[in-house]
Every structure is written in C-alpha cells, then in structure tokens.
Amino acid sequence: MSDVEIDKLALEGAIVLIDSSVGNYVAYANDLWQRDTGVGNPVGRTSLRVTLESVLGEASLDARAQHLAGIGITDRLKQINDSFTDLDVSMGKGWDDDYVTDLA
Amino acid sequence: MTTMSLTSPNRGWALEKIEYDSGQLEGIYTDLGKLIDEGNNAQIVLHNIEDGLEGRGDSISLVKTESGSLASRMKPTVSSLERIAKVIRAYGEAVAQHAKAANDLIDDIEAAQATLDSAAADFTTAQTNERECTADDNREARSTAEQDLSDAQSALTTARNTLEDLWENWESAYSLWDEAYDAAVAGLVRSDGTTLTVLTMAAIDDLAGADTPAEVAEIWDNLTDAQKDTLRRTYPGFIGNLEGVPYLDRFLANKISYDAVKAGGPYGDPLDGQLEQLGLEVTDFEGQLLEFHPFEYPQATAAVMYGITLEDENGNPVDPMDGITNVNVLVGGMFSSLDDLKNWGQSARDLNQFAEAYGDGTKSATIAWFGYDSPDLASEHGMNSATEGAAALTETLRGLDNEVSTNVTTSVIGHSYGSTTAFLAVGGSDDNLGVDNLIAIGSAGVPDNYHANWTGDDPMDYSGTDIFATRAPGDFVARYGEVSSFGHGTNPEDIPGAVSFESDGGEVPDLYGGTEYGLETPGHATHDGANGPGPLGEWWAKDNGYLSRDTESFRNIAHIIATGEPIS
C-alpha cells in the first residue's frame, strides 16, 4: 500500500470519527435541553427547574458551537482528502507501481 | 392533591405534595452520561488528529491545531456536564427517597387529622354526658358515663399521638428533601467549576438555601462589598435573578450576564433577535434587566423594569426605588414572548408617563414581565402554563414586596391568559403578595372557585386586592378562551367587588389636564391586529389594542394606577 493510500485512509477515518462523535455529542445536548427535566415547580419553587434548564441550554449552545467547529475541521479534512484524490488522478493510474523507477 | 389546608406543627410548613418526576430525572441523568461519553470520545478523536494525523504541509498543520483547540474548548463543557450529572443524580435520589416518603404520608396525615377531630368531638360529648350525670342517675349509668369518658380520653390521646408521629416523620422527610433542593440549586450554580474563597462559596450555599426574599436580603446584607462584587461578577445569572438581592445589585449583575451572553453568540433566532431588543431597551430606553434567563426552555424569559434611575447626576449609585410610589407589572398571555418586548416596553414607559400625569405626586415604575412559558393554542385551554407562570410570578411579586416599602402601590395587569396566570398567583396565595390592584384586560378567564393543583380545596382569595376588568365588545378571543377552558372559566368581572371599566372608546384625560377621545379597542390584541390577521390584515386595527397609549382601555389602566379607580 502506498503512502498516499495510507494518508487517505487515515483522513477518511478521521472524518468519519469526527462526524460521528461530535455529531452524537450535539444531538444528545440538543435533546437534553428540549426535554422535561422532571424537576417541576415543587411547592411553588421554580429556581431549580429554571437553573437546570439554563445550564443545560448553555451547554447545548456550547455544543452547537463546538459542532460547527467540528464541521469546519471535517470540511478541511475533506478538502485535503480531495486534493489527494486529485493528485492521484493527475499522477495517472499505476504511477506508484513497483516497476516505476524510484528516482529518490 | 391535598384536600385539606394543614400546616405542620413544628416547622409551619404547608402540607403540600412535592412535585417531581423520577422517570424524567433518571432519564436526564442517563442521557447526560451518554452526552458526557460522546464528549469524551470526541475529545479523544480530536486529540488523536492533533497528535497523530499523518502528512505534512500547512493544511495538515492547521487541521491538527484546530482539532487540539476544539478538544480544549470541549473540555470545560464536558466537565460542567459531569458536575451537572452529579447534581441530578443526588437530587433524583433525594426525591425518590425523601419527597416520596413525605408525599406518601399526606393521606395518612389527613386521615389522622380527621380521626383526631372525630375523637375530640367524641371526648367533648363524653365529657358533657359525664358532667350531666346527677345523684339521681343510677350507679350503672354513672359508671357507663365515666367509662365512656375514659375511653374517649384514651382514643383522643391515641389519635393525637398518631398524628404527632406522622407529622414528625413528614417534617423529617420534607426537611431532607428541602436540603437536597437547596444543595441542587447551589450545585448547579457552581457547575462551571469556578473556585472562590470558602466564605464566598458558603455564601452561595446560604443564598441558595434561603426560603424567602427577606432571608436572602439578610444574608446579602451581611456580605462584604468585596464578596458582593465577586458574586455579581462570577455568578451574575444567579445573583441577578435571586429575589431578595437588592434591585440595584440585580440590575448590575444581569447587565454583566447579558453582556457575556451577547458576546457568546450568535445563537440563531429567535434568541439573537430577542437579545438585540433587550440590549436596545437598556441602552436606548433606560430599561433595566430585573430577570434574565436567556437559555430557559422552551422560551427565553426575562423582565425589564422602566422608570427607575441607578445613578445620580454625579454618577453615584442610588436606590432605584427612591421616590417610587407605584410599581406596575405587565403580564402577557398566549404566544407572548420576548419577541413582543418592543411594544410592551413602549407600553410600560407610556404607563409611567400617563400614571404620573393623572396622579398627584405619582412616580411610576413598570415591569414588562416575560417570566413564563406562555401557552399555545393547545395548552391555552388548561391550567398548566398558568400554574407554572403563577409560581414564577409569585416569586417575582414576593421579591418586589420585599424590595419596596408598604407605601408603594403595586398593580398587576394581565392580558388574556396573562390574567389567568396573575389571578392564580394572587388568588391562590395565602396572602395578597403585596398586590393592591389586579387588572384583567381581554381576560381568557380567571381560575374558577378553586384550582386543585394550586390551593387544595381553598377557594381563590383576593382579600386585600382590588380587582378591575375590561373586555372590548369585539374581543371574541377572550370570550372563547373562557368558555373553552378547563379551569379558568370565570369572568373576572363576576368576582364579587370587581370593578368593570370600558374599552369601547370614549372621552379620556390627556397629559395636560384636558380631555381627548380615547380609541375603541376592536378585538383581543394588546397593540395591533384585533382578533387576528383577518382577510385584509385588519389594517384598521393598529395602535388601538388594550395597551396602546391612545385607547380608552389604556387610559383607564393608567387612571386606576394613579387614583385607584377607572375614569368616571
């Protein structure tokens, strides 16, 4: 397997992993914020419910911003990956076969 | 649901069911765990990219740096989530044990109270019978009466002891839940992980554990200026919304909180637009943030106060309530939200202007209160939103009552379902929350004689509060809201002693001692739109809603605030 293929595989793996982990992270964060917490307003007290909704909301919005940053990273990785593909195509099929003279 | 109004003998706590949902709490805790796992996984992936991504070149270097940076950003968020999860777990365990134990005792206590009442009546009867025995009665009759009295005495003692034991157990369980609640609030406040001095951390615990605004005020008063400053800057969201903290400190804290939240955006709509408007109210219209919960779900909540001053001409801080004679609270109804703040803020300022013009020495301040999750078309029929809103409004009003002197006249003006909420808060409370005037405009109906989830079997009690109400002749929405409701089917004008006022157009005082024509309110809206968009967009229904400054309705409200009665 060539170096290029190794890097491509590493990049593709990284893209999938970031998409998956940061995507799951923000999905759980959004879901938690939009759920009934179960605290209610016991004996007319609201502070715990409001405080919990607020901290979960803040965490969810942090997670959304982090998710966007994660998308930025995967976009960059995809660009690099695409440039590998372009490079591979421009080199021509079989450029790295064993019989090609190693000029290094 | 309680069926009696009972109060615990030693602590004076009302016998009420402690609301909670163990299943939801457990679900939140479980899913917080999954969220934390995903956050940790993401950090590992990002660190692996930072440290181990193959290849050279600027693009590769940049993506490695960005990955490391993102992992670092996620770390404090995940750490906060871990602390939140611990708080939820502890509170979930506490309610499952202590709140459940307290709730389970309610029926037993009510039954024991009924038994005691019955035993006391039996004892009184036996005592009377025994006393009425005379020398003429035969020995057997006297003996029977004495035995009956002895038995009744014994039964009474047993009933009393049983009830005392039950109360003791209930107070113990309730107290443990109460401690867990306070600890949970303090734990969430500190979930960002900031470390302060031991004394300041203890102050947070004390403030979170205080049961009344007066207790909070006393704790706050005993803090040093440096501690107060630290708390305002470090936990502005907590201090800014805590009833009992002086309003000046709350305004300053909430401004700090607002600036930090604004800087952390954008968050998308509607929050970004609401933050923009809140900022304008403060910078351009001298509004002050009395409450600020931007991340509450499903809608951000806040309250803005107008008509007050924080500094004198030399820039020195002053008590914002100095010289204020009237405080008014505007409460919105169905679909109301911070999106409406521009119009409602204008009405608040208009109300101050007209109340001061109509009154003799009146100095008015008005709060535009968006402190609850307002109902939609489906939930408007029921009482859930009103129950939650009334709990929040009650806290605001208790805080206000603690902040102002008893000479200040407090008026609450509720529109549509906002009147349902406001009337539940005042009528369902064991006092009048310091509210002198309760004004319903376009009411969607106020709570019926009693509302089981709020007052037990006690009827709504508006003692000490004057009630005023109006409905425009063409306001079909309000009438539909009342007749289609489950729990708020009472027209406030039918409450004994309520004073009706007009909103169908008529002569009203102007600002300068003369009179002018006050517009008719054509439908249900507070500002524009009558009863809805309509086939022509109801272009004729603009600036003539209940709270528009040139309407008869609005002028009546200002007149009530200033003089205690509508325009005659």
* pLDDT per residue as tens digits for the range B90-108: 999 999 999 999 999 999 9
Confidence of residue A100 (pLDDT cuts 50, 70, 90): very low
Residue B431: the pLDDT is 93
Let me know whether B154 and B227 are in one domain: no
Place of tokens 């069926």: B3
Portion 57-96 of A in contact with B at CB < 8 A: 57-64, 66, 69-70, 72-73, 76-77, 79-80, 83
**Domain end among B189, B205, B227:** B189
Q: Using one digit for the tens of pLDDT, what is the confidence trace for A28-83?
A: 998 998 889 999 999 989 999 999 999 999 999 999 999 999 999 999 888 888 88
Closest CA of chain A from B6, distance in Å: 14
Nearest alpha carbon to residue B451 among B398, B393, B382: B382
B17 occurs within a structural domain: no
A15 touches chain B (CB under 8 A): no
Containing structural domain, residue B382: 296-312+324-563
What CATH number does the domain containing B43 carry? 1.20.1270
- Predicted TM-score of the model (pTM): 0.89
Residue A74: the pLDDT is 93
Half-sphere exposure of B40 (CA within 13 A, CB side): 10
For residue A36, what is the nearest residue in chain B, using CA coordinates?
B24
Confidence of residue B195 (pLDDT cuts 50, 70, 90): confident
Q: Count up the domains in chain B and report the number.
A: 3
B15 occurs within a structural domain: no
- Lowest average pLDDT, out of B281-285, B289-293, B361-365, B473-477, goes to B473-477
Decide if pLDDT at B3 tops 50: no
Place of tokens 């009972």: B6
Let me know whether B68 and B129 are in one domain: yes
Are B38 and A45 an interchain contact pair (Cβ–Cβ within 8 Å)? no
**Domain end among B138, B154, B189:** B189
Interface probe with B: pick from A54, A64, A80, most Cβ of B within 10 Å = A54
Q: Using one digit for the tens of pLDDT, what is the confidence trace for B510-530?
A: 999 999 999 999 999 999 888
Let me know whether B480 and B331 are in one domain: yes
What is the rounded distance in angstroms from the CA atom of residue B48 to the CA atom of residue B269? 35
| DSSP-assigned states of every residue in B392-438 | HHHHHHHHHHHHS-TTSEEEEEEETHHHHHHHHHHHTSSS-TT-SEE
B97 occurs within a structural domain: yes
Are B38 and A7 an interchain contact pair (Cβ–Cβ within 8 Å)? no
Residue B490: the pLDDT is 92
First to last CA, chain B: 44
- Lowest average pLDDT, out of B237-246, B322-331, B407-416, B449-458, goes to B449-458
Residue A97: the pLDDT is 54
Structure tokens at B171: 């107070």
B2 occurs within a structural domain: no
* CB-nearest partner of B38 from A21, A60, A62: A21
Let me know whether B221 and B157 are in one domain: no
Are B185 and A48 an interchain contact pair (Cβ–Cβ within 8 Å)? yes
**Domain end among B145, B163, B189:** B189
Are B60 and A44 an interchain contact pair (Cβ–Cβ within 8 Å)? no
Q: Using one digit for the tens of pLDDT, what is the confidence trace for B110-158?
A: 999 999 999 999 999 999 999 998 888 888 888 999 999 999 999 999 9
The torsion defined by the Cα of A56, A60, A66 and A71, in degrees rounded to 10, comes to: 160
Dihedral sign from CA coordinates of B429, B432, B434, B438: positive
Cα-based distances in Å from B430 to A66, B487, B521: 48, 20, 35
Structure tokens at B20: 């909670």
The answer to whether B116 touches B159, Cβ cutoff 8 Å, is yes
**Helices B58-94, B139-189: inter-axial angle, 10-degree rounding:** 170
For residue B207, what is the nearest residue in chain A, using CA coordinates?
A47
Q: Looking at beta carbons, which residues of chain B come within 8 Å of A18? A: 42, 45-46, 49, 67
Let me know whether B539 and B426 are in one domain: yes
Nearest alpha carbon to residue B369 among B334, B344, B405, B352: B344
Residue A101: the pLDDT is 45
What is the rounded distance in angstroms from the CA atom of residue A60 to the CA atom of residue A29? 5
B79 occurs within a structural domain: yes
Interface probe with B: pick from A4, A15, A21, A31, most Cβ of B within 10 Å = A21
Report for B48-62, B372-386, B396-410, B436-450: range of highest mean pLDDT: B396-410
Let me know whether B278 and B305 are in one domain: no
Let me know whether B133 and B43 are in one domain: yes
Let me know whether B508 and B407 are in one domain: yes
Higher per-residue pLDDT: B3 or B318? B318
Q: Using one digit for the tens of pLDDT, what is the confidence trace for B421-432?
A: 999 999 999 899
Let me know whether B63 and B134 are in one domain: yes
B12 occurs within a structural domain: no
Closest CA of chain A from B278, distance in Å: 18
Q: Looking at beta carbons, which residues of chain B come within 8 Å of A25? A: 35, 38-39, 41-42, 74
Confidence of residue A104 (pLDDT cuts 50, 70, 90): very low
Decide if pLDDT at A89 tops 60: no
Let me know whether B233 and B170 are in one domain: no
Confidence of residue B109 (pLDDT cuts 50, 70, 90): very high
Let me know whether B91 and B227 are in one domain: no
Are B267 and A61 an interchain contact pair (Cβ–Cβ within 8 Å)? yes
Domain coordinates of chain A in residue numbers? 3-90
**Helices B341-358, B271-285: inter-axial angle, 10-degree rounding:** 30
As a whole number, the mean pLDDT across chain B is 93
Angle at A93 between CA A90 and CA A98, to 5 degrees: 120
What is the rounded distance in angstroms from the CA atom of residue B475 to the CA atom of residue B493? 15
A34 touches chain B (CB under 8 A): yes
Closest CA of chain B from A81, distance in Å: 10
Q: Looking at beta carbons, which residues of chain A come within 8 Å of B20? A: 38-40, 42
Decide if pLDDT at B1 tops 50: no
Let me know whether B263 and B303 are in one domain: no
CB pairs under 8 A between A and B: 177
Confidence of residue B533 (pLDDT cuts 50, 70, 90): low
The torsion defined by the Cα of B177, B178, B180 and B183, in degrees rounded to 10, comes to: 180
Confidence of residue A86 (pLDDT cuts 50, 70, 90): low
Q: Looking at beta carbons, which residues of chain B come within 8 Å of A42? A: 18-20, 99, 177, 181
Instruction: Give ipTM to 2 decimals.
Output: 0.90
Cβ-Cβ contacts under 8 Å for B263 (sequence gap 6 or more): none
Residue B309: the pLDDT is 95
